[in-house]
Amino acid sequence: MSDHASQRTHIQAPPDLCFATVLDVERYPEWAVDIKEATVLARDNEGRAGDVHFRAAAMGRSSSYTLRYTYGSNPLRVSWRLVEGDVMRRMSGEYEFVAVDGYPNTTRVHYDLDIDLLVRLPGFVKRRLEAKIVHTAIDDLRTHIERLAANQ
């Protein structure tokens, strides 16, 4: 059974900067504490990350997984799905960045994640892990992007 996490928030930065930051997967280790390494294995025709191999800290050990990124008709949406991983059976997710009308330097972010681990975990451990993932995906991302925006 998959677990689902979804979060919406606002970032004080333009949508293009938010999107570009998420696309810069090789820099994730600079702001996403549990990501130790991100290596782009393949790129699409526009030079964006296609397949990316990650090494991350997970549940007290090192984990490796490869994600395949896709880009749809919405220019500020990116989604991904698990190609292979050592602790996950399935994973898919997406970020979508939308300009907030009347606030040119504010972006509404929608984050979704579905994950199915290979190992069964007690409910409280899964909730703690989910909270940590969402914290990095939203709060740490927001802090990083807002810092970038302030330095422009």
Domain count, the chain: 1
Q: Using CA atoms, how far apart are residues 91 and 7, in angstroms rounded to an integer?
A: 16
| pLDDT for the residue 73 | 78
Segments forming the whole domain that contains residue 102: 3-150
| pLDDT for the residue 114 | 87
Assess whether pLDDT exceeds 70 at residue 90. Answer: yes
Assess whether pLDDT exceeds 70 at residue 131. Answer: no
4-43 confidence digits (pLDDT tens)? 888 999 999 999 999 999 999 999 999 998 899 999 999 9
pTM (2 decimals)? 0.86
| pLDDT for the residue 1 | 44
Q: Using CA atoms, how far apart are residues 94 and 56, in angstroms rounded to an integer?
A: 19
Q: Using CA atoms, how far apart are residues 25 and 48, in angstroms rounded to an integer?
A: 10
69, 47 contact by CB (below 8 A): no
Assess whether pLDDT exceeds 80 at residue 107. Answer: yes
CATH number at residue 120: 3.30.530.20
Q: Using CA atoms, how far apart are residues 87 and 58, in angstroms rounded to an integer?
A: 9
**pLDDT tier, 61 (very low <50, low <70, confident <90, very high otherwise):** confident
